[in-house]
Amino acid sequence: MSLDQHPTVPGELISPSRVAPKDRGLHRTDLGRLLPYLRPYRARLIVMFAVALASLGATIAIPLFTKKVIDGPVAHQDVRGLWVLGLAALGLGVLEAALWMARRWLVQLASTGVENDLRKDLYARLQVLPMSFHGAWQSGQLLSRIMNDLSAMRRFIGFAAVLLILNLIQVIVVTGILLAMYWPLGIVVLISIVPVAAANLHYERQFTKASRAAQDQTGNVATTVEESALGLRVVKSFGREDYVYDRFDAQAVKLRDIQLRKVTIMSRFWTLLEVIPTAALVIVLAFGARAVALDQITLGTLVAFITFMLNLVWPIASLGFLLSMLQETMTASTRVVEIFDAPREIESTGAAEVTPAGRLELRDVGFRFPGTEQWALRHLNLTVEPGQTVALVGATGAGKSVLTSLIPRLYDVSEGAVLIDGVDVRTLPLSTVRRVVATAFEDPTLFSMSVRENLTLGRPEATETEIRRAIEVAQAGFVDDLPFGLDTRIGEQGMSLSGGQRQRLSLARAVLSDPRILVLDDTLSALDVHTEALVEAALRNVLHDVTGIVVAHRASTVLLADRVALLEGGTITHVGSHAELLATVPSYRFLLAADDELDPSLAHEECWETDEEKQAIAHAHATVGIPEDEERR
Amino acid sequence: MTATTQPPSTPTEATWRGKLQEDQPDTSVEKTAAPGQARALLWDLLRPHRATVAVLAVAVIAENVARLAVPRLVQIGVDDGVPPLRDRRDGSTLTWVIVALVVALLLQAGLRMFFLLRSGRVGQNVLLELRRRVFRHFGTLDVAFHDRYTSGRVVSRSTSDVEAIQEMLENGFDGLITAVLTLIGTAILLLTLDLKLGLVCLLSFPFLVLLSLWFRRESAAAYRQVREISALVIVQFVETMTGIKAVQAYRREPRNQQIFGELADRYQQINIRTMRLVAIFMPGVKLIGNLTTGVALLYGGYLAMRGEITIGVLTAFLLYLRMFFEPMQEITQFYNTFQSATSALEKLAVVLAERPAIADPATATALTQVRGEVAFEDVQFSYVEGRPVLPGLDLRIPAGQTVALVGTTGAGKTTIAKLMARFYDPQHGRVTLDGHDLRSLDQQDLRRHVVMVTQENFMFEGTVADNIRFGRPEATDEQVRAAAAAVGAAAFIEALPEGYATDVAKRGGRLSAGQRQLVAFARAFLADPDVLILDEATSSLDIPSERLVQRALRTILADRTAVIIAHRLSTVEIAHRVLVLEHGRVLEDGPPAELTSADGGRYAALHRAWVESLA
Ligand SMILES: Nc1ncnc2c1ncn2[C@@H]1O[C@H](COP(=O)(O)OP(=O)(O)O)[C@@H](O)[C@H]1O
Ligand SMILES: Nc1ncnc2c1ncn2[C@@H]1O[C@H](COP(=O)(O)OP(=O)(O)O)[C@@H](O)[C@H]1O
Ligand SMILES: [Mg+2]
Ligand SMILES: [Mg+2]
């Protein structure tokens, strides 16, 4: 629904949300800011409310009718009157039930619709929020928002909101009628409202705090569950089920304790609200009896008054849980709005859908992870012409992957600029940048979908021939041996693939998306030597036509590139051919010392192995090797 | 109760989801619940709280007596207290009534608070116990189960299903007990007040029962679907968030939005269906109540006219009738939450009834001194029936030997490793450690001695030190540092802003891929197992780091059994023995040097290719 109503603006990958900006008036509270989501259901809600009011009228009228029947026909032996009024009462009863049904029927679409629209918009929002957001937020917190908090809202809209308003109206109307019936007793009823309001004020703050804590803790529990589920195989490898269980248990116990705090608050609040109307009833009886005794009212009026007052018991008592639900919904809306309010950071600008030639330039690039002081990259310069390929070489943790993630704007540079064809990527539409750049990541992510869908991730319109070609380049012919070929579901919910197979699919995906700039982040690491050679041969043709960045640890991969850039200390220190760097740069030789790899025995006499390192290792072995008996407990 | 109701799939789903098994719905990984299984679980959870529940029942009965006494007392006050006061200025009856009312009120308040507090506590403790059981049980289930069930479902079961039950325990419970008691109490009062009139009113009962039976049947099916579809929504959501980098880099957002949108729409549709059922059920109950009241009014009015009952009795009767039907609404509301919770309970009961295919033996052989001799005796294994991965493997690895497994992707190397760690049991033959069949050992005990490091190298939330310590929680900081130093991870860890205390962030996102491998390696190293299995555990490292690891390996593997799976032959070369595998069969077996020089051998060819690749 949100997609049709909010067409994506050019350059945007996803439609914007409907959360109102924070301002005064109705939109002051977080719940208020979500009001625009009610708009599509406005008409329904108004009708529903009218129906609800009518049914309330029926609810109030029925006992009045009853009283009339008893006071009139029954008291005066009027059989015909009894039939007329009695049948009217029956009709009213049928009407009331019908109105109830209409109310519930009308609210269905509104309550689930608001939930659904919010869920979709929240998902959309989460999809465009930057990597820095996703790195910082616990996954369970997101999950609990999109499931729990939204269903709390649905329940509130579908059930509590109407009741809350109706019950308040009922309280007001009934009190008014009581005042009209006999005002001195009416005043007593009116005064009994005061403690209700006081109790609400008193408990509201406590309850809000507890419910926020409970909802947050629910997210923490979800996080632990998710982490344990995803890390299950590692947990099993180390036989650490007990440890993981203890971690979970601590969270679950904490959740229980917070919930108990809520229970304590609620038990007091609810009890108070349930007792107040009954207490008022007792007082009314006492005063009423006195009034009857003084002939100020008839006994009949007193009976009617008391009968009528019973109409207040339920509406007031129910305020307890209705107000609790309101509080919970407010908390939920705050938690949801937090996500809508998280900064996009990486905004899409510019509207022109151009297809650049693909000249890539990193100009004095500096990058810091949000919230850190250290520069991951600094003063980094690199230019790659279309058709050229640069191998990026650097030690583990040098910043190669960080660098590659700057090109498709998964992160934005902190200083300097990334330019494609001389244009700052930040001034291009995001969709253009990401269409032009394709990355095969070091950890190949496959989704639980068919092989085809996984491959065509970046280009749904790819033809069968193109898919075949990409599979060939990546040597991913194994897909044909899967039970249903390209239609086989893979990913977590499907067939499991080995690391090497996943990597090849990830490579095929990047190749298939037909980019101008192809980034391969250590994509061949899990391949066996034979396959690697085949992939490299095929890749050479692909790289010929694009701008290539190849992160490499091995000489064979480096040789795919025309030039090599050495990344050290967060910047590119040397650029040149493999042979040049090997000859002139000792640190490069150290990183790619191919000859030494041939003869592992040489490693021992390596000049780079300082005495310090030797000591560290000897020391390590001494410390870790603890006495047998202690270990074999 | 057992009928599977497969939710219809969405329009585009057929085009993206892909096939896994022919003619089998996705939900088939989950067995359907046996009748009564959910209720049995609920009773089982409540059993430890029997005493409290009994006390609560008494409290709630007392509370209801107090509450129901109120209108009765008011009636007495009006009928018997007011006339003497009016006619004779005699207020004694009224005073008595008011005193009784105040007592009833205080009783009601005290008991109500007590009840809410204690029943809330029972509810929360039951939930905690349920969460614990489910979590622990998922932990004991074998890897093959999890392969099938997948993490998304685990998450969905342990979060949203448990919460459906929470809703029942939080909101429904007290309402139900109160309501049922009110119902019974007023029914008795109605009958005693006037038998004839009371019996007429109770005629409404069969209709209520029929309506409830209808609702139960319909809503059970609907709520089962709610659970299934909400699991689909959760799975899609979790997967998107886990793979968000690929999603963004490949502009997958619009397509994802479409897919998620359809699932969310299905979720809305099924929610609407449940609400429709309620929208018929609750007004239906209301209708029956109103009709009964109307009939009572007519009939009661008729009786009153004939003088068979007093007007006071009629008034009271109609009052009680209202009280009789008002809790009906609560009961139906509870019944609804109960239905929703029941389908969640069913799902959980099925999971809890699932027996691990890999279970600990009743009497486990205790492992004390492990030498580390591993043997495969005619092991046959397949993941999917009819597609053998290991057609019959015989392999003996003497204690202390380092064996490298080489072979093309899919040859079965990882499978061998997993069988050694007993992630799976072979269908035929046996795997032994020091001559003990792995099936005769306690799993946790086994895995203290046999540790596997895979490419997965999962990082848990916490610090770097926490993650290294994962395999041996009692290790000192000193030992943690030493382990890191040994595998060459110390340098980068110390360069982190907070060193070993640096938070690795979600899934180790704070670290680079190679750094994660080093930490995983340090973790295995610190765990100090007797048998170490490394499955492509160094693929993301640069050459110097890898060399450092190899050197560490040479030292640490000196006195323990090791199986190394690697593509880089530099790592393979440190092994005593190389096995070349193809289709689960050992083609070549011997020391690397020997195989390298063997004419026409596969390993020799591999080695040549590798040497060329370095040039
Ligand atoms: N989210 C993050 N926050 C802070 N630092 C990070 C984050 N992710 C990675 N780093 C650090 O940035 C450096 C570069 O990482 P990366 O580019 O992944 O290395 P590599 O060159 O091995 O690909 C590493 O030292 C890593 O610890
Ligand atoms: N969980 C699984 N379910 C079904 N088949 C699997 C599973 N894991 C691996 N396989 C299949 O078993 C075979 C051997 O896989 P594996 O042992 O991972 O090979 P290797 O590690 O040598 O690459 C492959 O054909 C693979 O597709
Ligand atoms: Mg990297
Ligand atoms: Mg493998």
C-alpha B526 – ligand 4 centre gap (Å): 24
Note whether A282 contacts B461, CB cutoff 8 Å.
no
Q: Dihedral of CA A99/A101/A106/A110: which sign?
A: positive
Q: Is the pLDDT of residue A601 over 50?
A: no
Q: State pLDDT tens for residues B1-43.
A: 333 344 445 556 667 777 776 544 454 566 777 778 888 999 9
Contacts of A314 in chain B (CB under 8 A): 326
**Ligand 2 atom 3: residue of nearest CA:** B383
C-alpha B429 – ligand 2 centre gap (Å): 19
* Mean pLDDT of the B263-272 span: 95
| pLDDT score of A339 | 94
- CATH homologous superfamily for the domain B35-353: ABC transporter type 1, transmembrane domain (1.20.1560.10)
Whether A226 and A372 map to the same domain: the answer is no
Range of the domain at A105: 17-128
Whether residue A496 lies within 8 A of chain B, CB to CB, comes out as: yes
Q: Is A579 inside a domain boundary?
A: yes
Q: Is the pLDDT of residue A56 over 70?
A: yes
Q: State pLDDT tens for residues A134-181.
A: 998 988 899 999 999 999 999 999 888 988 988 888 888 889 989 998
Lowest-pLDDT range of A181-185, A360-364, B332-336: B332-336
**Ligand 1 atom 24: residue of nearest CA:** A397
- In angstroms, the CA B361 to CA B143 distance is 17
Whether residue A587 lies within 8 A of chain B, CB to CB, comes out as: no
CB < 8 Å from B in window 329-368 of A: none
C-alpha A568 – ligand 1 centre gap (Å): 13
Q: Is A603 inside a domain boundary?
A: no
Does any ligand 1 atom lie closer than 6 A to the CB of residue B514? yes
| pLDDT score of A608 | 38
- In angstroms, the CA B319 to CA A382 distance is 87
Helix (H, G, I), strand (E, B) or coil at B534: strand
| pLDDT score of B9 | 54
Contacts of B372 in chain A (CB under 8 A): none
CB < 8 Å from B in window 87-106 of A: 87, 89-90, 92-94, 96-98, 100-101, 104-105
The three-state DSSP-derived secondary structure of A522-573 is CCCCCCCHHHHHHHHHHHHHHHHHCEEEEECCCHHHHCCCCEEEEEECCEEE
Which of B257, B332, B358, B408 should we substitute to test contact with A (largest number of A Cβ atoms within 10 Å)?
Answer: B257
Lowest-pLDDT range of A351-355, B379-383, B509-513: A351-355
**Ligand 1 atom 27: residue of nearest CA:** B511
Please tell me the distance in Å from B436's CA to the nearest CA on chain A: 17
Q: Please give the mean pLDDT across all residues of chain B.
A: 87
How crowded is residue A22: how many other Cβ atoms within 10 Å of its Cβ?
13
Whether A107 and A21 map to the same domain: the answer is yes
C-alpha A542 – ligand 4 centre gap (Å): 28
| pLDDT score of B21 | 64
Q: State pLDDT tens for residues B274-324.
A: 999 999 999 999 999 889 988 888 888 888 888 888 888 888 888 788 878
Note whether A93 contacts B235, CB cutoff 8 Å.
no
| pLDDT score of B10 | 55
Q: Which of B81, B234, B542 sits opposite A289 (nearest CB)?
A: B81
Q: Which of B120, B127, B267 sits opposite A267 (nearest CB)?
A: B120
Task: Point out the domain boundary residue: A128, A156, A182.
Answer: A128
Contacts of A608 in chain B (CB under 8 A): 544
Chain B's closest residue to A292, CA to CA, is B86
* Mean pLDDT of the B475-479 span: 94
* Mean pLDDT of the B326-342 span: 83
**Ligand 2 atom 7: residue of nearest CA:** A496
| pLDDT score of B564 | 93
Helix (H, G, I), strand (E, B) or coil at A67: helix
Whether A510 and A566 map to the same domain: the answer is yes
Q: Is A543 inside a domain boundary?
A: yes
- In angstroms, the CA B465 to CA A564 distance is 35
| pLDDT score of B12 | 66
Q: Dihedral of CA A455/A459/A461/A466: which sign?
A: negative
Please tell me the distance in Å from B79's CA to the nearest CA on chain A: 9
| pLDDT score of A192 | 87
Please tell me the distance in Å from A229's CA to the nearest CA on chain B: 5
Order of strands across the sheet that contains B577-582: B450-453, B531-535, B561-565, B402-407, B577-582, B585-590
| Residue A525 pLDDT grade (very low, low, confident, very high; cuts 50, 70, 90) | confident
Q: Which atom of ligand 1 is nearest to the CA of A405?
A: 17
Main-chain dihedrals φ then ψ at residue A350, nearest 5 degrees = 70, 150
Helix (H, G, I), strand (E, B) or coil at A347: coil
**Ligand 2 atom 21: residue of nearest CA:** B414
- Structural domains of chain A, count: 3
Residue A437: exposure state from Cβ atoms within 10 A (0-12, 13-18, ≥19): buried
Note whether B294 contacts A236, CB cutoff 8 Å.
no
- Domain positions in chain B: 35-353, 374-614
- Ramachandran area for residue B307 (φ above 0: left; ψ -120 to 50: alpha; else beta): left
Whether A404 and A313 map to the same domain: the answer is no
Note whether A278 contacts B368, CB cutoff 8 Å.
no
Whether A430 and A475 map to the same domain: the answer is yes
Does any ligand 1 atom lie closer than 6 A to the CB of residue B511? yes
Q: Is the pLDDT of residue A7 over 50?
A: no
Chain A's closest residue to B174, CA to CA, is A267
Residue B615: which of A586, A475, A592 has the closest Cα? Answer: A592
Residue A398: which of A574, A561, A576, A602 has the closest Cα? Answer: A574
C-alpha A557 – ligand 3 centre gap (Å): 15
* Mean pLDDT of the B553-571 span: 85
Q: Is A329 inside a domain boundary?
A: yes
Percent of chain A whose predicted confidence (pLDDT) is above 70: 91
Lowest-pLDDT range of A491-495, B132-136, B492-496: A491-495
* Mean pLDDT of the A490-519 span: 88
CATH number of the domain at A180, please: 1.20.1560.10
| pLDDT score of B11 | 56
Higher pLDDT, A24 or A318: A318
Q: Is A615 inside a domain boundary?
A: no
- In angstroms, the CA B50 to CA B70 distance is 30
Most informative mutation of A369, A377, A550 for ligand 1 (most atoms within 8 A of CB): A369
Does any ligand 1 atom lie closer than 6 A to the CB of residue A130? no
Whether A335 and A364 map to the same domain: the answer is no
* Mean pLDDT of the B563-572 span: 85
Q: Is A317 inside a domain boundary?
A: yes
Q: Which atom of ligand 2 is nearest to the CA of B535?
A: 21
Please tell me the distance in Å from B1's CA to the nearest CA on chain A: 26
| B374-614 carries CATH number 3.40.50.460 | no
* Mean pLDDT of the B106-126 span: 92
Q: Which of A221, A279, A499 sits opposite B105 (nearest CB)?
A: A279
DSSP type of residue A422: T
| pLDDT score of B573 | 83
Whether A254 and A320 map to the same domain: the answer is yes
Chain B's closest residue to A303, CA to CA, is B78
| Residue A594 pLDDT grade (very low, low, confident, very high; cuts 50, 70, 90) | low
| pLDDT score of B28 | 52
Whether A364 and A339 map to the same domain: the answer is no
Q: State pLDDT tens for residues A252-291.
A: 999 999 999 999 999 999 899 888 888 898 888 888 888 8
Note whether A396 contacts B543, CB cutoff 8 Å.
no
Q: Which of B131, B479, B542 sits opposite A252 (nearest CB)?
A: B131
Q: Please give the mean pLDDT across all residues of chain A.
A: 86
Q: Is the pLDDT of residue A331 over 90?
A: yes
The three-state DSSP-derived secondary structure of A570-596 is CEEEEEECHHHHHHHCHHHHHHCCHHH
* Mean pLDDT of the A539-546 span: 91
Q: State pLDDT tens for residues B161-194.
A: 998 898 888 765 666 777 777 778 778 888 888 8
Note whether B614 contacts A591, CB cutoff 8 Å.
no
C-alpha A443 – ligand 1 centre gap (Å): 14
Residue A466: which of A456, A475, A451 has the closest Cα? Answer: A456
- In angstroms, the CA A67 to CA A488 distance is 72
Strand B577-582, strand B585-590: pairing:
antiparallel
Residue A140: which of B127, B151, B165, B520 has the closest Cα? Answer: B151
| Residue A9 pLDDT grade (very low, low, confident, very high; cuts 50, 70, 90) | low
Number of residues in chain B: 615
Higher pLDDT, B408 or B449: B449
| pLDDT score of A334 | 94
Q: Which atom of ligand 1 is nearest to the CA of A403?
A: 17
Q: Is A107 inside a domain boundary?
A: yes
The four Cα atoms A300, A301, A306, A311 give a dihedral, to 10 degrees, of: 110
| Residue A603 pLDDT grade (very low, low, confident, very high; cuts 50, 70, 90) | very low
Q: Is the pLDDT of residue A508 over 90?
A: yes
* Pair B227, B8: CB distance under 8 Å: no
- In angstroms, the CA A249 to CA A216 distance is 16
Q: Is A456 inside a domain boundary?
A: yes
